[in-house]
Each structure stands twice: as structure tokens, then as C-alpha cells.
């Protein structure tokens, strides 16, 4: 790989293919890549980049979880659990399935501002709530990563018993009309569970909300449906489970139990209002009990986490993310909306 100097033609750079790039080199080495047809330069932070690009490029892994939905509230019927917020992930290949199918890392460019939006969980009320809010990463030069807010749990009030579609779907509330659970979003989460209504309106129990790792449980003649499983990620350096569905409510006259929840979701109730999900997990709220008029449990707010080489981290953020390190990487955990400048 020789350099040619010609007083009339200019400088002839060394050439290589993508597969035969030189190794063990320092910053600033430049040549012509015959595979890509581009002049490229080497930098120890971003590797090989095309000459003339805006800035140094480097990979960034992410976890984006939307806000979870509230469980159903309402009148006499048992309510469904809220669906978890949608879950999108690029860190390793530790998750798979309806929620958390591993995606490619983003490529950030130095000097570019990337906007981080953290979705709120929806608030439970005395009827069917709204869905949780979306979370996202956006900025020039990247495809926006959006996780869809969780679907609301079906209520105990006539006309709003159906669970709602979302990142993960809401569980169905108990009713005579055979209500349906909400569906999940492909590669983000799962559907909610179905309700159970026995003869003469006895054994009234709501379905569990869907989670990022599994379908919400169907109610039985004795119990409310369990919230769908969440998913664990070690993007922060330790394994943490998030985005579980809310548990379904149970009739206050049945012998069994309200639906349980995990991974940040709120349990259903057998005595009154549903239980709230944990903040910044994207968990779904629990459904209210059958019998009294009561509120559903609040959904949990979402979270956005970025992980990059410490050598590439710029240190410029808004929104006060938590900054930690793991090995040679820096991790930004956004519990509220903000930005990162590459």
C-alpha cells in the first residue's frame, strides 16, 4: 500500500477493501476503500469513517420503554389490568419474542443533538383510562426509535369493558357481553388476558394486562388474571426486569385472589382500587375489584437508556439523566425527557 505523489495529478492514496483494511494503526490513517468507493479515515473512537462526514461516528446501544397504562376502574364489574409500555432494545441479544426483539445499535455522530422522550404512565380513574404515552429517541441521521404506550385495562362499567391495544394490550374487564382483551404491538409486547364471568354474575374476575415478555393471564372462576411477564435487561451493568403487565381485579365475593403482577406492574384488587405500577418501569396498573365503584391503578412511567463507549461520551445532556459506568462503557438513564449531544 504505497502513496504516490505526482506534481500534476495530485496524491494517490493507498487502497484496500473493507476486508483488508490495515490494523494496529493510529488516528488519522487515510486510504481509498475499493469496496465502498470512498476515501476513509481511521479514528480510535469511531473506527473507519468516510472522509468528509460531519463528525466522528460511534455505536450507541439503547433500551426504550414507553409509559404503562392504568388498570380499569369503574362500577360493579371487576376490571382488567393495564398493559405494559412497548419495549425496544438493541443491547446484546438477551431478549427475544413479542417484546424486546434485539435490534441494531444506533450510530450517533459527534455534535448532533438527539432528543429523548420518556412517556408518562396513564392515570387510573373511575372508568377505562387512556393509554400510556410513547417513549422515543430521535435526531438527524437516525431512524426514530419509538416504543408505543401500553393499552388501558377494560373497566367495570358497561360499554368500556374491552381492553385496549397498545405496546402491550390491556386485560378485559368482566361483563355479560364477552369483552375482548387488547392486542400488543409486534416486537414490543403481548396481548392482555380475558375476563371470567360465572353464572348469575358470580365469580366476576378481570384479565391481566399484557407484558413485554408474555401474554396477560386469563381470569378464572376464582382469580383475576396475572399480569404478563416483563423482560430483564443488563444494559445498566446489572439485570433489571421491567415492563410487566398489571393484574386483573377480582370479585369481592369470590374465594380466590386478585391477579398478581411482576416487573414493575401493579397488582389487581379484591377490595377496592387497583394498585399502581412502579415509576420508570413501564409497568401496567392493576384493575379494581368487582363490587365497589373504584379507580384503576396508575401505569408506570417509561425509561430510555443509552450505552456507549466512555471514550466516545461527550458529557453534554439535558434532562438530568443518571450517568453511570460499566467496564469501558458509560450509561445514561433518562427517567424524564431530555437530550444528548453526540
Q: Which of 42-51, 188-197, 286-295, 332-341 has the lowest mean pLDDT?
A: 42-51
Residues 39, 54: Cα–Cα separation, whole Å: 14
201 confidence band (pLDDT: 50, 70, 90): low
122 confidence band (pLDDT: 50, 70, 90): very high
Share of the chain above pLDDT 90, in %: 68
Q: Which of 14-28, 58-72, 142-156 has the lowest mean pLDDT?
A: 14-28
- pLDDT higher at 255 or 319: 319
Share of the chain above pLDDT 70, in %: 87
Q: How confident is the model over 159-189, as pLDDT tens digits? A: 899 999 999 999 999 877 788 999 999 999 9
Task: State the pLDDT at residue 96.
Answer: 44
> Dihedral sign, CA of 14, 19, 24, 30?
positive
pLDDT at 215 over 70: yes
Considering the chain, what is the average pLDDT of its residues? 89
- Domain coordinates of the chain in residue numbers? 4-53, 55-342
H or E segment and range at residue 135:
strand 135-138
326 confidence band (pLDDT: 50, 70, 90): very high
CA nearest 188: which of 203, 168, 170? 168
Q: What are the grid coordinates assigned to 317, written together?
A: 445532556
Amino acid at each position: 500500500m504505497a502513496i504516490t505523489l505526482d506534481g500534476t495529478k495530485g496524491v494517490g492514496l493507498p487502497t484496500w477493501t473493507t476486508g483488508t483494511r490495515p490494523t494496529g494503526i493510529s488516528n488519522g490513517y487515510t486510504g481509498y476503500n475499493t469496496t465502498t468507493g470512498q476515501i476513509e479515515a481511521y479514528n480510535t473512537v469511531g473506527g473507519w469513517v468516510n472522509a468528509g462526514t460531519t463528525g466522528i461516528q460511534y455505536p450507541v446501544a439503547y433500551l426504550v420503554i414507553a409509559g404503562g397504562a392504568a388498570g380499569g376502574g369503574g362500577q360493579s364489574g371487576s376490571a382488567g389490568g393495564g398493559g405494559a409500555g412497548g419495549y425496544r432494545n438493541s443491547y446484546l441479544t438477551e431478549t427475544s419474542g413479542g417484546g424486546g426483539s434485539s435490534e441494531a445499535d444506533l450510530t450517533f455522530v459527534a455534535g448532533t443533538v438527539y432528543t429523548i422522550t420518556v412517556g408518562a404512565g396513564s392515570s387510573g380513574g373511575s372508568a377505562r383510562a387512556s393509554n400510556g404515552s410513547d417513549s422515543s429517541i430521535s435526531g438527524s441521521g437516525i431512524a426514530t426509535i419509538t416504543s408505543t404506550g401500553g393499552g388501558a385495562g377494560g373497566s367495570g362499567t358497561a360499554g368500556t369493558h374491552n381492553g385496549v391495544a397498545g405496546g402491550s394490550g390491556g386485560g378485559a374487564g368482566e361483563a355479560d357481553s364477552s369483552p375482548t382483551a387488547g392486542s400488543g404491538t409486534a416486537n414490543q409486547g403481548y396481548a392482555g388476558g380475558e375476563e371470567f364471568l360465572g353464572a348469575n354474575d358470580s365469580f366476576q374476575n378481570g384479565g391481566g394486562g399484557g407484558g413485554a415478555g408474555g401474554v396477560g393471564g386469563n381470569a378464572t372462576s376464582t382469580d383475576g388474571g396475572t399480569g404478563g411477564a416483563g423482560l430483564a435487561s443488563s444494559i445498566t451493568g446489572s439485570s433489571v426486569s421491567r415492563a410487566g403487565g398489571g393484574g386483573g381485579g377480582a370479585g369481592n365475593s369470590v374465594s380466590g385472589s386478585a391477579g398478581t403482577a411482576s416487573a414493575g406492574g401493579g397488582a389487581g384488587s379484591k377490595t377496592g382500587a387497583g394498585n399502581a405500577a412502579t415509576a420508570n418501569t413501564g409497568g401496567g396498573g392493576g384493575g379494581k375489584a368487582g363490587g365497589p365503584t373504584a379507580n384503576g391503578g396508575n401505569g408506570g412511567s417509561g425509561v430510555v437508556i443509552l450505552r456507549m463507549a466512555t471514550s466516545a461520551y461527550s458529557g453534554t445532556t439535558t434532562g438530568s439523566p443518571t450517568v453511570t459506568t460499566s467496564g469501558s462503557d458509560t450509561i445514561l438513564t433518562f427517567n424524564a425527557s431530555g437530550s444528548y449531544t453526540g
